[in-house]
Amino acid sequence: MRKKLRVGIAYDVKEDYDLSAEGFKYCDFSTLSEINGIKRALEQRGHAVCLLGNYSKINAMLMGKTFPEIDIVLNTAEGIISRNREGWLPSLFEMNHIPYTGSDAYTLSLTLNKCHTKIMAKHLGIPTALFRQIGSADDLKDIAEDVPSPWIIKPNYEGTSSGVRYVENLPELEKAAEELLAEYRQPLLCEAYIPGREFVTSILYDDEKAKCIGTVEIVRRDGSDIHVFSSEDKLSETCTKVPADLPEGLLRDMERDALLLHRFLECRDYCRADFRVNPDGEYYLLEVTPLPTLDPDSGFGKCCAYAGLDMGYVYEEILYNALERCCV
């Protein structure tokens, strides 16, 4: 029987950064209700859990020698603004020899860079939409020759669809690029828009033990098409997730590619990959998220639910898998 653990949860909430809870500029945050839900689920399974907070709070604890006695940190914190933001806490934990869950700083920083992730996918032969990185207005020259319109344009280092725009012609693209470059102050990803349906594939564990636990489709509750899955959609009740209804071969290949990229990028413990499937039945990788939301209603959570996995059990598996790796 595995021992009961002393677990600290690292997390970010908007209130710690003086950001409006209703804003969509930066969206990679948890809510206290989500974090307390994880805490309750682990406590119901006999573990002792304390809430640690974000990087600033944890760093202050370490500097002041008040960091609690724990066995492992369940890390859900994603930081803000910096392209290295997701790697802050993993680096801090490694420097202080504290076991933690999830991918390390290198993998988190690599996958946060959408362009670099797509380059890795292309290297592995995984289908992904044609794309270009935009660092300035000069990068828009001749873009229509390289990437067919319409386009999706978004900040290269943000998540939860922050800043995503759909544009149909060059003047719209130029305007959107100018606005996003000024607002986010980072390069942009411009890719060919893939019409069709949106899917989430989830993976548990790492290395050879890694396995796909299922795929769900994101659908609108009113039955309309998922034209663009926006931040507003992700943070509201407009959409839901249902078991993927796809031809067996297509689903098998998509899940195989998600697992291939998970292992190649050295993602750890758990991961989510997002895909679009066009009307011709061709799938395209959108991005990989090795630090997905663990809320039961998230894409990862719904994959677990439809696979018959209780989220308390999944949280435990993530913890024990990470602890086994950290103690080797």
Looking at residue 18, its pLDDT comes to 66
Handedness of CA 217, 220, 223, 227 (dihedral sign): negative
Return the structure tokens found at 151: 């386009």
CB 77 within 8 A of CB 34: no
Q: Which helix (H) or strand (E) covers residue 285, if one does?
A: strand 283-289
Return the CA Rg of the chain: 20
Contact present, 26 and 79 (Cβ < 8 Å):
no
Domain locations in the chain as residue ranges? 6-102, 130-192, 195-326
Q: What is the DSSP letter of 164?
A: -
Q: What is the pTM of this model?
A: 0.91
DSSP code of residue 128 = B
- State residue 22's pLDDT score: 53
Domain 6-102 has CATH 3.40.50.20: yes
**What pLDDT does 161 receive?**
67
pLDDT of residue 73: 98
What's the average pLDDT block by block, 10 residues per block, for the chain (328 residues)?
93 74 58 92 97 94 96 91 88 96 96 95 97 90 88 86 88 93 92 96 96 95 78 73 96 98 97 96 96 93 97 97 83
Q: ω before 150 within 30° of 0 (cis)?
A: yes
Q: Which CATH class is domain 130-192?
A: alpha beta
- Cβ atoms < 10 Å from Cβ of 52: 21
Q: What is the CATH number of domain 195-326?
A: 3.30.470.20
